[in-house]
């Protein structure tokens, strides 16, 4: 059975190779191959899951070692996969949602001439993401980590002819690289400290290491997580990443890849648990991002960017939960999974709307679409309900647990975190209601596209609606199912550990408060956008709104602090290289040239001058010989 584990990765990898190298012959049916291989991988995942459930909790983790990847004295990296409870959750999420989004893309990308390549990239992403969650050591994890970065780069920039897409792709890769630097430093620290970077040995020996070293390792891992999961301060790439085709935003930039940071922290629980200072940093990053992302989500008129802000904010919740330690790990993962369902569903819904509206993304140009796209509307509504934590839907269960855990942290810290989480809940409800109202309700504000054609909204084809319906089911039921008898918690506990939190008040009270908060947000949005007509052109807005539209000035900050000085430095060095270093060399050459030009004048070209100097020389020689002898 364990030999299925490599096949999980191999299936999409083979698909990627086939589609990217196969040539035009595969143009007509290549997308079905890719979809089938993704589904096959999902089937393998289900089989492995069934197999795992057949064993008792202690024997569920298995390791499948393929071969030694890099053997150098004292340094051994293996191509080796580890499938445990945490990995299988991710495997099922990745391949399950992945397969659905492959199916959706068949419809969404039907008219793109480079569809074959798109599916090749999607398969490549699946393979890399599976390597990331299945690796049994940090170096192999790093391969998956950068592999998903590559897939993300290729897919964000899929429409490369648009300069904005190409720029966004590059930005995403480079910001992620900054995070990856953290991961590589963390691996180096582990190697210097433990002589290994495989999960088992490192976690086993973590207790021996000094507090300072552990904190350093944990902070570097946090840096990596910030990059991949778009957390403050490395969050700036996610909004721009929406330049990619919408299925990509759903799969990579909502459901799976961006949650890799949460996986990394949860997986490294053994290190973080021993480094409380680093945990505090994690919590702070999560709390700041959850508010930050939510504020940005409120101001965006671009439906995908609003959702991207929401993704950032929701991952902030997860990161915060993971930073809380054993009371939060399992809930972080649970929210991650439910978020995977509803956020992917929301993005697919957004894609469906764009599909019907000539690729318009500005919500101020939507309005009244619920009659034209009923399936999209209902699935989107259910997803929204799940996201804002409408009672009994998925998000309600998972988010409440996180708010619970935040309060359970205790002391002033607990209150601050809990209030942050509640504030986030209010804002989340506000911006999601705003999105629904602007898109599906109100009067039509449709604008003609570049060619002057008014959009003719229509429901999307079956290949697109089916995945949306399936994901809507997940959005509705997954949370309740997981909470029922704490099944999810018990399943994960052997890996992540669990510790019951003790919030200052009963968890039912938290649920009620959270629900009230949610309703407040919904009501506020209704008051602002539901009652009157919505202007087609965005009003100027307050200072905060304007800042939020510019992503709270994050790009301006990066530009001023990093990009501008950086390019100035590069320009200075180019100048220094050609004028300074090379100038010195050329100057030296010119000096020698000049000197020899002077010396050349001695050579007059007249034979008699040479003869005279010869005679003179001989005379001196003879005279000095005689002189020497006489002395």
Partner 1 sequence: MNPVNYLYLAALLFTIGASGVLIRRNAIVLFMCVELMLNASNLALVTFSRLHGNLDGQILAFFTMVVAAAEVVVGLAIIVSIFRTRHSASVDDSNLMKL
Partner 2 sequence: MSYLLSATCAVPAAGAVLTAALPAGTGEARRRTTKAVALAVSAATLGLAIAVAAAFEPDGPRYQLTESYSWIRSFGISFSLGADGIGTVLALLTAVLVPLVMLAGWHDADPAAPEGSFESKRRTQGFFALILAVEAMVLVSFLATDVFVFYVFFEAMLIPMYFLIGGFGDRAGGPDSARQRSYAAVKFLLYNLLGGLVMLAAVIGLYVVAGDQGQATFSLPALTDAISSGKLVIDPTVQRALFLGFFFAFAVKAPLWPLHTWLPNAMGESTAGTAVLITAVVDKVGTFAMLRFCLGLFPDASKTFAPAILVLSLIGIVYGALVAIGQKDIKRLVAYASISHFGFIIMGIFAMTSQGQSGATLYMVNHGISTAAWMLVAGFLISRRGSRLIADYGGVQKVAPVLAGTFLIGGLATLSLPGLAPFVSEFLVLVGTFTRYPVIGIIATFGIVLAALYALMLYQRTMTGPVKESVTGMPDLKARELAVVAPLVALTLLLGVYPQSLTRIVNPAVNDTLSQVHRIDPAPAHPVAATNGGEQK
Question: Which residues lie near partner 1 (CB under 8 A)?
Answer: 600, 603-608, 611-612, 615
Q: Is residue 497 a contact residue for partner 2 (CB under 8 A)?
A: no
**Min CB(84)–partner 2 separation in Å:** 9
Residue 31 tokens, joined = 């997308």
CB nearer partner 2, residue 81 or residue 347: 81
| Distance in Å from the first CA to the final CA of the chain | 104
Of 504, 137, 495, which Cα lies nearest the Cα of 329? 495
Q: Could you tell which of partner 2, partner 1, none binds residue 608, using a CB distance below 5 to 8 A set by kind?
A: partner 1
Q: Is residue 177 a contact residue for partner 2 (CB under 8 A)?
A: yes
CB nearer partner 2, residue 77 or residue 306: 77
Of 118, 88, 89, which Cα lies nearest the Cα of 101? 118
CB nearer partner 2, residue 168 or residue 307: 168
Q: Which residues contact 89 (CB under 8 A, 6 or more apart)?
A: 333, 337, 491, 492
Q: Could you tell which of partner 1, partner 2, none binds residue 603, using a CB distance below 5 to 8 A set by kind?
A: partner 1
CB nearer partner 1, residue 603 or residue 630: 603
Q: Could you tell which of partner 2, partner 1, none binds residue 178, using a CB distance below 5 to 8 A set by kind?
A: partner 2
Stretch that binds partner 2, among 135-143, 230-238, 337-345, 447-455 (CB under 8 A): 135-143
**Min CB(131)–partner 2 separation in Å:** 9
Residue 501 tokens, joined = 């939190």
Q: Is residue 142 a contact residue for partner 2 (CB under 8 A)?
A: yes
Residue 8 tokens, joined = 């999980």
**Min CB(210)–partner 2 separation in Å:** 8
Dist. CA 4–CA 618, nearest whole Å: 95
**Min CB(376)–partner 2 separation in Å:** 32
Q: Could you tell which of partner 2, partner 1, none binds residue 150, using a CB distance below 5 to 8 A set by kind?
A: partner 2
Residue 492 tokens, joined = 């994960």
Dihedral angle of Cα 39, 45, 47, 50, to the nearest 10 degrees: -140
| Sign (positive or negative) of CA dihedral 587, 593, 597, 598 | positive
CB nearer partner 1, residue 557 or residue 615: 615
Dihedral angle of Cα 274, 276, 281, 282, to the nearest 10 degrees: 50
Q: Could you tell which of partner 2, partner 1, none binds residue 569, using a CB distance below 5 to 8 A set by kind?
A: partner 2
CB nearer partner 1, residue 67 or residue 606: 606
**Among 3, 25, 56, 74, which residue interacts with partner 2 (rule: CB under 8 A)?**
74
Letters for 444-483 (x = contact with partner 2 by CB under 8 A, - = none) are ----------------------------------------
State the DSSP code for 65. Answer: E
Q: Is residue 145 a contact residue for partner 2 (CB under 8 A)?
A: yes
Q: Which residues contact 343 (CB under 8 A, 6 or more apart)?
A: 250, 254, 255, 307, 310, 311, 314, 383, 387
Q: Could you tell which of partner 1, partner 2, none binds residue 145, using a CB distance below 5 to 8 A set by kind?
A: partner 2
Q: Could you tell which of partner 2, partner 1, none binds residue 589, using a CB distance below 5 to 8 A set by kind?
A: partner 2
In this structure, are residues 86 and 266 in contact, taking their beta carbons and an 8 Å threshold?
yes
CB nearer partner 1, residue 50 or residue 611: 611
Q: Could you tell which of partner 1, partner 2, none binds residue 166, using a CB distance below 5 to 8 A set by kind?
A: partner 2
Q: Which residues contact 345 (CB under 8 A, 6 or more apart)?
A: 379, 380, 382, 383, 468, 471, 472, 474, 475
**Min CB(198)–partner 2 separation in Å:** 3
Q: Is residue 192 a contact residue for partner 2 (CB under 8 A)?
A: yes
Q: Could you tell which of partner 1, partner 2, none binds residue 135, using a CB distance below 5 to 8 A set by kind?
A: none
Dist. CA 135–CA 80, nearest whole Å: 6
Q: Could you tell which of partner 1, partner 2, none binds residue 163, using a CB distance below 5 to 8 A set by kind?
A: partner 2
Identify the burial level of 317 via C-beta atoms within 10 angstroms of its C-beta, where 0-12 means exposed, 13-18 middle and 19 or more buried.
Answer: buried
Identify the burial level of 311 via C-beta atoms within 10 angstroms of its C-beta, where 0-12 means exposed, 13-18 middle and 19 or more buried.
Answer: buried
Dist. CA 580–CA 602, nearest whole Å: 34
**Among 134, 202, 427, 468, which residue interacts with partner 2 (rule: CB under 8 A)?**
202
Q: Could you tell which of partner 1, partner 2, none binds residue 612, using a CB distance below 5 to 8 A set by kind?
A: partner 1
**Min CB(220)–partner 2 separation in Å:** 10
Q: What is the DSSP string of 206-244?
A: GGGS-HHHHHHHHHHHHHHHHHHTT-TTS-THHHHGGGS
In this structure, are residues 19 and 34 in contact, taking their beta carbons and an 8 Å threshold?
yes
Q: Is residue 72 a contact residue for partner 2 (CB under 8 A)?
A: yes
Q: Could you tell which of partner 2, partner 1, none binds residue 606, using a CB distance below 5 to 8 A set by kind?
A: partner 1
**Min CB(494)–partner 2 separation in Å:** 12
**Among 110, 454, 516, 573, which residue interacts with partner 2 (rule: CB under 8 A)?**
573
In this structure, are residues 482 and 338 in contact, taking their beta carbons and an 8 Å threshold?
yes
CB nearer partner 2, residue 68 or residue 624: 68
Q: Could you tell which of partner 2, partner 1, none binds residue 193, using a CB distance below 5 to 8 A set by kind?
A: partner 2
Dist. CA 92–CA 390, nearest whole Å: 25
Q: Is residue 197 a contact residue for partner 2 (CB under 8 A)?
A: yes
Find the angle CA(39)-CA(44)-CA(49) to the nearest 5 degrees. Answer: 120
Q: Is residue 355 a contact residue for partner 2 (CB under 8 A)?
A: no
Q: Is residue 198 a contact residue for partner 2 (CB under 8 A)?
A: yes
**Min CB(630)–partner 1 separation in Å:** 20
Of 52, 57, 93, 59, which Cα lies nearest the Cα of 493? 57
Pick out residues in 150-169 that bind partner 2 (CB under 8 A). 150, 153, 157, 160-163, 165-167, 169
**Among 581, 611, 612, 620, which residue interacts with partner 2 (rule: CB under 8 A)?**
581
Dist. CA 16–CA 26, nearest whole Å: 12
Of 181, 134, 176, 188, which Cα lies nearest the Cα of 151? 176
CB nearer partner 2, residue 17 or residue 43: 17
**Min CB(163)–partner 2 separation in Å:** 5
Q: Could you tell which of partner 1, partner 2, none binds residue 119, using a CB distance below 5 to 8 A set by kind?
A: none
The beta strand positions in 57-98, using DSSP E, are 62-72, 75-83
Letters for 79-118 (x = contact with partner 2 by CB under 8 A, - = none) are xx--------------------------------------
């Amino acid at each position: 059975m364990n030999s299925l584990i490599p096949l999980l990765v191999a299936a999409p990898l083979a698909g990627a190779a086939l589609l990217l190298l196969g040539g035009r012959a595969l143009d007509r049916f290549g997308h079905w191959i890719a979809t089938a291989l993704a589904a096959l991988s999902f089937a393998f995942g289900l089989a492995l899951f069934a197999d795992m459930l057949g064993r008792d909790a202690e024997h569920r983790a298995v390791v499948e070692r393929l071969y030694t990847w890099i053997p150098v004295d004292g340094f051994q990296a293996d191509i080796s996969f580890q499938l445990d409870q945490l990995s299988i959750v991710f495997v099922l999420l990745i391949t399950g949602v992945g397969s659905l989004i492959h199916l959706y893309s068949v419809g969404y990308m039907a008219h793109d001439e480079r569809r074959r390549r798109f599916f090749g990239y999607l398969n490549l992403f699946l393979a890399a993401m599976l390597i990331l969650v299945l690796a049994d050591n940090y170096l192999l994890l790093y391969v998956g980590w950068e592999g998903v970065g590559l897939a993300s780069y290729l897919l964000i920039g899929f429409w490369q002819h648009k300069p904005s897409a190409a720029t966004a792709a590059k930005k995403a890769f480079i910001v992620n690289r900054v995070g990856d630097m953290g991961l590589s430093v963390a691996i180096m620290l582990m190697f210097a400290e433990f002589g290994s970077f495989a999960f088992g040995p490192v976690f086993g020996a973590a207790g021996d290491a000094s507090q300072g070293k552990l904190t350093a390792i944990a902070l570097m891992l946090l840096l990596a997580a910030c990059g991949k999961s778009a957390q403050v301060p490395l969050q700036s790439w996610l909004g721009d990443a929406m330049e990619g085709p919408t299925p990509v935003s759903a799969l990579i930039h909502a459901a799976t890849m961006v949650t890799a940071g949460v996986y990394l922290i949860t997986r490294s629980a053994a290190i973080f648990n021993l480094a409380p200072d680093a945990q505090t940093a994690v919590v702070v990053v999560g709390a700041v991002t959850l508010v930050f992302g939510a504020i940005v989500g409120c101001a965006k008129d671009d439906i995908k960017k609003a959702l991207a802000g929401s993704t950032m904010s929701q991952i902030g919740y997860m990161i915060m939960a993971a930073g809380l330690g054993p009371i939060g790990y399992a809930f972080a993962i649970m929210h991650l999974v439910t978020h995977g369902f509803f956020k992917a569903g929301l993005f697919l819904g957004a894609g469906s709307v764009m599909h019907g509206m000539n690729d318009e993304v500005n919500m101020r140009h939507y309005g009244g679409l619920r009659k034209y796209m009923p399936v999209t509307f209902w699935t989107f509504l259910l997803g929204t309900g799940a996201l804002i934590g409408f009672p009994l839907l998925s998000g309600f269960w998972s988010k409440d647990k996180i708010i619970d855990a935040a309060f359970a942290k205790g002391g002033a810290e607990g209150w601050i975190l809990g209030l942050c989480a509640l504030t986030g809940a209010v804002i989340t409800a506000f911006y999601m209601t705003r999105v629904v109202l602007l898109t599906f309700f109100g009067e039509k504000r449709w604008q003609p596209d570049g060619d002057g054609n008014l959009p003719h909204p229509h429901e999307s084809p079956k290949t697109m609606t089916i995945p949306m319906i399936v994901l809507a089911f997940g959005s509705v039921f997954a949370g309740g199912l997981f909470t029922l008898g704490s099944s999810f918690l018990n399943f994960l506990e052997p890996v992540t550990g669990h510790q019951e939190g003790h919030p200052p008040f009963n968890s039912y009270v938290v649920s009620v408060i959270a629900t009230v908060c949610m309703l407040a947000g919904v009501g506020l949005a209704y008051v602002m956008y539901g009652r009157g007509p919505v202007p087609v052109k965005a009003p100027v807005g307050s200072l905060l709104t304007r800042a939020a539209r510019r992503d709270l000035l994050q790009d301006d900050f990066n530009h001023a602090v990093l990009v501008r000085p950086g390019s100035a430095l590069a320009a200075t060095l180019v100048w220094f290289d050609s004028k300074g270093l090379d100038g010195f060399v050329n100057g030296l050459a010119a000096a020698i040239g000049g000197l020899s030009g002077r010396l050349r004048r001695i050579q007059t070209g007249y034979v008699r001058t040479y003869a005279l100097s010869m005679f003179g020389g001989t005379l001196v020689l003879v005279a000095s010989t005689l002189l020497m002898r006489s002395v």
